[in-house]
């Protein structure tokens, strides 16, 4: 008979999390407990508290966070519970949900112990027939095509449009996909990490790694637009890139799963037999490759790949990046998950896991795609507009850019040098904006525009050699 867990330890862990008022990672909980409970023991205690409904786990593996259940379940048990308060409710309210989607959310408002445990249902995959089965209606596909084709040029090679907006896409998709996993980097922190290699002060190295992995994954897809597709080469390598330096077993990156995994906060149990995982993975790819419509193709992968959980971890990230494959290849507007509420997306995936129902995920997907398409349309329209701020700070911008070049500042030091210069020379209210503009000016330097900063060819060449080294130091 197993030894009962000490009630006082469980109560203390629950107290620490409830007093914080927000989700905490296991290391944060351990620190709050002053190391009084060994790490492995703490994991067992946390699992028990989640199983008993006393805590709620968000995310998976090392990204798991624990919070008090009141944040989601304190709403009155009425037929139509009110949305959770605060900014999250306002974000979710922006997405119009169908009655079927609301049914799924009603199911998920019940605590896990009140929901029926379920395993992998292969019929969910088997029943899909490319060209005959459709998750998206003809009307929905037509509406998405209209939004996505605003900049489409069928005569251009695959990936042309994505390359034109690559700098923006790298930041948007890396930040939003990481944010949906609970990553706490801000959009500005993400931009500085991607463009300058500057990690956020006090930030988690794992969060920085996650974002940089996304950047590499986007570059992989866009740079290989002609060759990528729904095949083993693409999806296994995509996972290897996204999982780089994040898994407990480094050899699991790019390899199908051989171990059992669990889904935090869910009663769904993914398949555990390696042979079944292998068979379904190949079947999933074959079905995806046979789908003719790019939007149906993207949505199919977003639903079916995380449901199978073919990898040890990072499955949803792979599905979000893979959803962009048909858009990149067809020069359609990409899907960057701009403004998608994290809680609503999590519920949408749980609806697929526990009920094999896609209505909530479909509402999130269609809204997210139209939102992303509108964003990139606005980006295109804004190009070339005069900026009064740049005009007002023309001399200061020229001075800081010239300073960076003449000092031969490497990429890793440029942002720091700009911040220091800005603090000394720019008025307080203008500093944040000036720093962003100055960073953009430095990133935009090339052989055809450096003369406007009163930089000589020799100065530019010497600096560029250091800058392109990506790792040089003072």
Q: Is the pLDDT of residue 328 over 50?
A: yes
- Most confident stretch, 188-197, 232-241, 457-466: 232-241
Q: Is the pLDDT of residue 202 over 50?
A: yes
Model pLDDT for residues 213-248, shown as the tens digit of each residue: 999 999 999 988 889 999 999 999 999 999 999 998
Residue 345 CA to chain centroid, in angstroms?
A: 11
Output the pTM of the full model: 0.70
Q: Is the pLDDT of residue 170 over 70?
A: yes
**What's the pLDDT at 4?**
54
Query: For the chain, what are the domain ranges?
Result: 7-71, 99-382, 388-467
Q: How confident is the model at residue 392 (pLDDT cuts 50, 70, 90)?
A: confident
Model pLDDT for residues 46-72, shown as the tens digit of each residue: 888 887 778 888 766 666 788 887 543
**What's the pLDDT at 382?**
56
> Nearest Cα to 437, choosing from 188, 214, 199, 190?
188
Average pLDDT of span 366-389: 76
**What's the pLDDT at 403?**
93
Give the β-pairing of 56-58 and 65-67.
antiparallel
Q: Would you list the DSSP string of 93-143?
A: HTSPPPHHHHHHHHHHTS-GGGS--EE--HHHHHT--TTT--SS-HHHHHH
DSSP H helical segments within 264-314, as ranges?
A: 274-290, 294-308
The DSSP symbol for 252 reads: G
109: left (phi over 0), alpha (psi -120 to 50) or beta: alpha
Q: How confident is the model at residue 44 (pLDDT cuts 50, 70, 90)?
A: confident
- Whole-angstrom distance, CA of residue 286 vs CA of residue 298: 14
Q: Which range has the worst mean pLDDT, 78-87, 262-271, 390-399, 424-433? A: 78-87
Q: How confident is the model at residue 208 (pLDDT cuts 50, 70, 90)?
A: very high
Higher pLDDT, 93 or 319: 319
**What's the pLDDT at 92?**
67
Crossing angle of helices 411-425/394-406, nearest 10°?
Answer: 140
**What's the pLDDT at 471?**
47
Higher pLDDT, 452 or 134: 134
**What's the pLDDT at 62?**
64
**What's the pLDDT at 81?**
39
Q: Is the pLDDT of residue 412 over 60?
A: yes
- Helix, strand or coil for residue 272? coil
**What's the pLDDT at 75?**
34
For domain 7-71, give the fold: Arc Repressor Mutant, subunit A (1.10.10)
What is the CB neighbour count within 10 angstroms for residue 300?
26
Q: Is the pLDDT of residue 418 over 70?
A: yes
Average pLDDT of span 341-345: 94
Q: How confident is the model at residue 8 (pLDDT cuts 50, 70, 90)?
A: confident
Average pLDDT of span 451-458: 84
Long-range CB contact pairs, 425-428, < 8 A, 24+: 425/396, 425/399, 425/400, 426/393, 426/396
**What's the pLDDT at 89?**
58
**What's the pLDDT at 23?**
81
CATH superfamily, region 99-382: Fido-like domain (1.10.3290.10)
**What's the pLDDT at 381?**
59
Higher pLDDT, 74 or 309: 309
Please state, for a pLDDT cut of 70, what percent of the chain lies above it. Answer: 88
**What's the pLDDT at 12?**
85
Contacts of 375 (CB under 8 A, 6+ apart): 172, 336, 338
**What's the pLDDT at 83?**
40
Average pLDDT of span 181-188: 92
Q: Is the pLDDT of residue 2 over 50?
A: no
Model pLDDT for residues 128-165, shown as the tens digit of each residue: 999 999 999 999 999 999 998 765 555 567 767 777 77
């Amino acid at each position: 008979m197993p030894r009962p867990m000490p009630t006082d330890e469980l109560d203390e862990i629950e107290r620490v999390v409830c007093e914080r008022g927000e989700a905490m990672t296991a290391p944060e909980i351990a620190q709050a407990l002053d190391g009084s409970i060994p790490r492995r023991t703490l994991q067992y205690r946390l699992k028990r508290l989640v199983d008993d409904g006393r805590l709620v786990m968000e995310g998976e593996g090392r990204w798991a966070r624990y919070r008090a259940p009141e944040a989601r379940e304190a709403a009155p048990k009425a037929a139509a519970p009110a949305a959770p308060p605060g900014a999250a409710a306002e974000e979710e309210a922006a997405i119009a949900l169908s009655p079927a989607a609301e049914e799924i959310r009603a199911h998920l408002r019940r605590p896990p112990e009140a929901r029926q445990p379920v395993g992998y249902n292969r019929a969910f995959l088997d029943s899909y027939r490319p060209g005959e089965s459709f998750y998206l209606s003809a009307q929905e596909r037509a509406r998405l095509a209209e939004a996505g084709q605003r900049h489409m040029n069928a005569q251009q090679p695959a990936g042309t449009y994505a390359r034109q907006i690559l700098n923006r896409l790298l930041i948007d998709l890396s930040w939003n996909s990481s944010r949906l996993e609970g990553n706490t980097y801000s959009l500005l922190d993400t931009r500085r990490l991607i463009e300058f290699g500057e990690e956020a002060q006090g930030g988690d190295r794992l969060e920085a790694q996650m974002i940089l992995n996304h950047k590499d994954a986007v570059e992989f897809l866009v740079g290989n637009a002609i060759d990528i597709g729904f095949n083993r080469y693409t999806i296994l390598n995509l996972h290897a890139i996204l999982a780089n330096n994040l898994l407990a077993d480094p050899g699991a990156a790019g390899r199908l799963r051989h171990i059992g995994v669990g889904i935090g906060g869910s009663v769904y149990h993914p398949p555990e037999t390696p042979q079944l995982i292998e068979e379904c993975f190949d079947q999933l790819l074959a079905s995806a490759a046979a789908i003719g419509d790019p939007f149906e193709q993207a949505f199919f992968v977003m639903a079916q790949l995380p449901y199978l959980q073919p990898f040890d971890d990072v499955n949803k990230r792979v599905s979000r990046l893979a959803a962009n494959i048909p858009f990149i290849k067809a020069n359609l507007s990409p899907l960057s998950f701009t403004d998608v509420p994290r809680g609503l997306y999590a519920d949408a995936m749980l609806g697929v896991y526990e009920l094999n129902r896609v209505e909530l995920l479909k509402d999130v997907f269609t809204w997210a795609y139209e939102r992303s398409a509108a964003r990139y349309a606005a980006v295109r329209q804004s190009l070339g507009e005069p900026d009064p701020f740049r005009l007002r700070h023309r001399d200061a911008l020229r001075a800081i850019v010239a300073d960076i070049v003449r000092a031969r500042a490497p990429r890793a030091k440029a942002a720091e040098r700009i911040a220091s210069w800005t603090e000394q020379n720019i008025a307080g209210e203008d500093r944040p904006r000036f720093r962003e503009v100055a960073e953009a000016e430095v990133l935009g330097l090339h052989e055809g525009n450096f003369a406007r900063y009163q930089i000589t060819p020799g100065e530019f060449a010497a600096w560029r050699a250091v800058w392109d080294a990506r790792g040089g130091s003072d």
